[in-house]
Every structure is written in structure tokens, then in C-alpha cells.
Amino acid sequence: MQANPVHSLEELNERFWRWLEEDYHRRVHASLEGRTPHEMFHAQLENITYLEDPSILDTIFLKREQRKVKADSTITLNKHLYEVPSRFIGSSIDVRLDEHGVYIFEDDKKVAEATPVSMKDNAYVKRVRSPFQYLK
């Protein structure tokens, strides 16, 4: 038996979800001891726990890294330089990131955000000589 060709992504998604709901979830599976996935799900509804605060999901799936903050208050992450608040200089910090930003966490709470260092802008920053450079 050959299926009719699909003409769009929407049509493919529609066919997939129809098959999933009407066939796969309703068919008896040997690995489920002769029950359907639909029956198994409904038999376990009392075990589902709902989150009181769904905003916690925003931080659960962030990628996590540990970084040591350099003396100039920066960290390197994925070959990019980021500036963090100076209070973290010399510390190892919990960094979490997604496609929207880089965040610093303490005790599983977001406490700051790292900002990308612009190499172009940084090249034009006026610097003064350190008064300690001659004390060697």
C-alpha cells in the first residue's frame, strides 16, 4: 500500500498527529502487557504532579557551565568574552545560558546577567597607566 504524497509541512504534521492519536496510542503494545499507551496514561493520572510555579521551567532547561572570573571581570564562554559584575572577580561562578543570554546563578537563583564584550568598542577605551607598574 502506497500513501498519498504529502504536499506541505502542515499536511505532514496533521497526518502524523492523526496517526499518533488514532492508531499508535490506541493500539495494544506487548511491552505494556497488552494495554494501549492511552490506557497506561489514564491509569497513572493520579501520579501526575503539577508545578505551583511554572516559571521554574524557564531556568531548568538552561545549559550550565562553571567559569572562573578573571581579574578584569570577564569570562570566556564558547570562544566569546563576557563581562560580569566585579564582585565575582576571582570566583568560580555558575553560568547558565540559552539563545537569549548568559546568566549568573547563586544558590539556584539568577543574580546577574553577563554582557558580551565588544572588541571594537573595547579597543577605543582610554586607559591610564597603573600606578603599580613601576613597583617591581
Number of residues written out for the chain? 136
Task: Tell how strand 80-83 and strand 109-116 pair up.
Answer: antiparallel
- For the entire predicted model, the pTM comes to 0.57
pLDDT tens track for 41-70:
999 999 998 888 888 888 888 999 999 999
Sign of the dihedral through C-alpha 24, 26, 30, 31: positive
| 10-residue averages of pLDDT along the chain (136 residues) | 84 95 94 94 92 84 94 92 93 95 94 90 66 57
C-alpha cell read off for 80: 566569546
- Among the CATH numbers 3.40.190, 2.40.50, 1.10.3470, 1.10.287, which is that of 54-119? 2.40.50
Q: How many helices (H) and strands (E) does the chain have?
A: 4, 6
Each domain of the chain, given as residue ranges in start order, spans: 9-46, 54-119
Q: Within a 13 Å sphere around the CA of 89, how many CA atoms are in the beta-carbon half?
A: 5
